[in-house]
Structure 1
Amino acid sequence: MSTKLEKLMFAISLQDGVTGPVGKMQKQLDDLAGHARKSFVQIGTGAAGIWAAGQSMDYMLTPARQMNKALMEVSSLDVEPKALKTLNREALAFSIRFGESASAVASSAYDIQSSIAGLSGDELSRFTVSSNVLAKATKADAATITSYVGTMYGIFKNQANDMGKAKWVEQLTGQTATAVQMFKTTGQEMSSAFTSLGANATAAGIDVAEQMAIMGTLQSTMSGSEAGTKYKAFLSGVGNAQKALGLQFTDSNGHMLGMMDILGKIKGKYGDLSKVDDGDLLKKAFGSDEAVSLIKLLMADTKGLGASIDQLGKVQGMDKATQMASRMVDPFDRASAGVNALLTVIGQALLPSINPLVDGFTDVTATMVRWADMFPNLTRWVGYGIMLILGFGAVLGLASVASGVARISMFGLSTVMGPITGTLGLMRKAWALYSGAQWVANAAMWGFPGTWIVMALVALVAAVGAVIWWWDDLKAAFLDTSWGQAIMGVIDQVAGVFKWYFDMLGRMWGWVLEKVQAVQKFLGMDSGASAEVNAPAMLEAPRSASVPAGGVTQSISNAVSKNSSNSRTIQQVNITTSKPMDAQSMSEMAFMAAG
């Protein structure tokens, strides 16, 4: 076989030798991995149960905890427990009705209580609910509206105190929602407008309905903050303007007239202000372009402005805001808020019993931290123990991984060696074809005429060997005679011819070998570099021959030359082989004999 095929056979044998130990190792890994898997399943199941229980408890208690946090923030402002209880109830009711977060509603109470001092009883909860309803109705966030309510209370504080804070805030909520609907503005823009205006209009004795109508009308062409700025500029110049224009803008008590009365007087004297000179005169009188711009915008529709003032003045409660907010509620939001409200109530009932346990556990951890600081060596060994447990878990995990990798490796090896085994079968068939080709090469060699010449010479050599073997008997018969000596002379001459002929035979044999090698290459056989591969298959078997130095011919010549008497004795020459002679062996003997 060729060297490559031998290597392949060695690899397959190696696989067979390794599979057994690997299989035992795989079984051990599988056993360890099985125990690890069971342990991990148990640990995972337990951990999952603990995690699920913790998550369930957290889910159930989170709404109540968030609500309690918001209430505790408000309580930090010295709010009475009774007011906190009312706030909690109203916030939950609001969340169910409008689908909003109850804890967010309660948190907004902190800003209200910070900006409006002196709220007592249910005033805080009513302010809080009204503000959040307005935020919902006007598409503003609770923080913006809370700030707006605080600002408006600062502006209309006296009016709010006269009416009652709770009633006032509900009226403000309804008026603001109505203004937003009438003027297509938002709660954010109305807040910006009143923030820019400040208390200037209120100081002049103008009620909230007229202020909202004016700034709402202006917001049809400008932002809320710009509307507040223009209205502020008008109020600042109205005192000087009445002198410059020769018009009276105050009543008998010195209070400024309403916007409709002022616009009526200006329009009665200067018409629609279409003339340039009239505009310049108003600018000079009021002292700013902002004031003139406001007068021109409002004068364009004084009838509409009057209707808006009347409509806003009729609003008494927050019904309009509640109606607008209710139309923006998603039923799914209400359902979610209802579940949270229920969990809040349940959690608030449970927390008083759970909180002491949590506080106790926290105290234990504080004690453990103190002990860890006091006994660092003990802490270190506790850490070692924890690391040992975790490390053992990691080892089991690695064993499971190793088992899986081993299985994959064995599967891959079997997958790879399967095609190799099939390839080996094909190579064996190819080797059979090679043997057949070798037989063809041998047949071709026997059909070559030179082969028969060689075989004839081999036969002649065998005959000479036989003569040498029975030489004593032959000599006794005829060598001592005169004619026998003549024959020996002829034999000496023939021996010289044989020597020459065997030299020529050696050169012919070399030629034959070259042709055989050419046939092997043509059939795709491996010629190799070694002598075993270069020779035909029938020459591969080892040969063992014992031939005297110089060949048979030289031995006969030496034997004859050494015997000078008439009664000559030719030394016996032995040719021995390790196995029976065949045609190939005889060819080899002939070749060596020619040496």
Structure 2
Amino acid sequence: MGMESVFKLSVVLNMMDNMSDKLGGAQKNVGQSLQAMNTGFGGFQKAGAVLTGIGGGILGASAKLVTATFDTQDALGELKSLGVEDLKAVEDAARSFTNTWAGTSKAEFITASYDIKSGIASLSDEGVAKYTELAGLTAKATKSTTGEMTSLFATGYGIYKGFYSDMSDMEFGEMFSAGISTAVKNYKTSGSEMAASISTLGASATNAGVRMEEQLAILGQLQSTMSGSEAGTKYKAFLNAAAGAGKKLGLTFTDSNNQLLSMPEILTALKGKYGDTIDAVEKQKLKEAFGTDEAIALIDLLYGDIDGLSSGIDGLQESMQGGAEATQTMAEAINNTPAQ
């Protein structure tokens, strides 16, 4: 191989080393390869083959870098269209997040920021960045995607934030993150299933005055035998009929402010009337009162473990009071687990 060819290759490699740390060792490896190949009759042919391979690798890496850059710029442009001015805050957050947590690209993070801003227009530019970080962290902790958790955070904000109006956006976001992560851990479900259950339930429970930790505990416990969307459907059917059903059964399921009692209190009232088990005749009376099979299915599944439900609610409340600490711990455990 002529010195001119080696010089040209060296120049190209220097350029690529400056472009990316990932290519930083390329020049060193080629130098070692050339030294080994130039000892023997077949050195020229081998050198040409290696140069072809190295060149293809460089072009492939370059193409990925360029594509990633274009994707990032496109995502920033979309975010700017929503009125976000401090794009640097979002890009810096994206860089920090992707350098810490595996599995999400900068472009994906910024696209998630777009979804957050679309769903929660009141957030400041810095708030958009921080909410996206929380959604991404929750995704990592619950083995779901950043996109799924971004959508859930936007939905959850609309459903629950008014109930917790005394909290700042960030305080609420951290509490919500802890609730989702803890429910996933305690009830052996997933982030995507919890998202489906909350989306299906909507604001029915919140409008009835049910606190978030109770909602998450009920949805989580139901998912031991059904999907998230089924859990949301059954809980919604129960809520829609509960107040009227209590009157038909000669029981009171509301407090002095006409707000629904907690689920453990309602189940305890039913147990006081029917005992530890509900026979077929009694179940038929319950169905006449509640009107749907879905509501009765919920009672069947929760009736036998009222204490467990109460403990689950208390555990969620405690975790949610700690902010995003529970989510952080779960995410770190997953991130630090060696790949199989």
Q: TM-score, normalised by structure 1?
A: 0.45
1:141 equivalent to 2:114? Answer no
- 1:77 is aligned to 82
Alignment of 1:229 onto 2:233: yes
Which blocks of at least 5 consecutive residues in structure 2 are unaligned?
Answer: 1-51
Name the counterpart of 1:187. Answer: 191
**Cα 1:49–1:148, aligned 2, differ >3 Å: closer, same or farther?**
closer
Q: Residue 328 in 1 paired to residue 334 in 2?
A: yes
1:163 aligned counterpart, secondary structure: coil
Q: In the TM superposition, what is the alpha-carbon distance from 1:51 to its structure 2 partner?
A: 8.8
Is 1:93 matched up with 2:88? no
- Distance in 2, matches of 1:99 and 1:134, equals 13
Residue identity opposite 1:181 in structure 2: K
Secondary structure of the residue aligned to 2:121 is coil
Aligned partner of 1:281: which letter? K
Structure 1 residue matching 2:140: 3-state secondary structure? helix
Q: Residues 210, 52 of structure 1: CA spacing in aligned structure 2 closer, same or farther, 3 A cutoff?
A: closer
C-alpha separation in 1, matches of 2:306 and 2:53: 72
Say if 1:292 and 1:96 are closer, same or farther in 2 by CA, change over 3 A.
same
The aligned counterpart of 1:271 is 275
The corresponding residue for 2:325 is: 319
For residues 123 and 150 of structure 1, what CA distance do their matches in structure 2 show?
Answer: 13
- Answer yes or no: is the 8 Å Cα contact 1:99–1:330 preserved in 2: no
1:79 is aligned with what amino acid?
V
Residue pairs, 1:3-82, within 5 angstroms: 61-80=66-85, 82=86
Deviation at 1:65, TM superposition (A): 3.5
The equivalent of 1:175 in structure 2 is 179
**CA distance in structure 1 between the partners assigned to 2:297 and 2:188 by the alignment:** 21
What letter corresponds to residue 99 of structure 2 in structure 1?
Answer: I
1:252 aligns with 2:275: no
One of 194, 216, 219 as aligned partner of 1:215: 219
| Structure 1 residue 329, shift from structure 2 partner | 2.2
Q: Which residue of 2 aligns with 1:243?
A: 247
Q: CA deviation at 1:230?
A: 0.7
- Matched position secondary structure for 1:71: helix
CA distance in 2, matches of 1:64, 1:161: 39
* Aligned counterparts, 1:436-455, within 5 A: none
**Alignment gaps of 5+ in structure 1:** 1-46, 334-595
SS in 2 for 1:328: helix
For residues 393-436 of structure 1, give each alpha carbon's deviation from its aligned partner in whole angstroms, at most 9, with x where no partner exists. xxxxxxxxxxxxxxxxxxxxxxxxxxxxxxxxxxxxxxxxxxxx
Per-residue deviation, residues 224-277 of structure 1 (Å, max 9, x unmatched): 111111101111111211111111111111111111111111111111233222
Q: CA deviation at 1:57?
A: 5.9
Superposed displacement of residue 167, structure 1? 1.5
Q: Tell me the residue number matched to 1:413.
A: none
Larger radius of gyration: 1
- Give the whole-Å Cα distance in 2 for the aligned partners of 1:281 and 1:53: 74
Moved more, 266-275 or 174-183: 266-275
TM superposition shift of 1:56: 7.1
Equivalent position of 2:42 in the other structure: none
The match for 2:124 among 94, 116, 120 is: 120
RMSD: 2.5
The aligned length equals 287
Amino acid at match of 1:97: T
Residue 298 (structure 2) pairs with residue 294 (structure 1): yes
Amino acid aligned to 2:236: K
Output the amino acid matched with 2:178.
G
Q: Residues 237 and 287 of structure 1 are in contact (CA less than 8 Å); yes or no, is this contact kept in structure 2?
A: yes
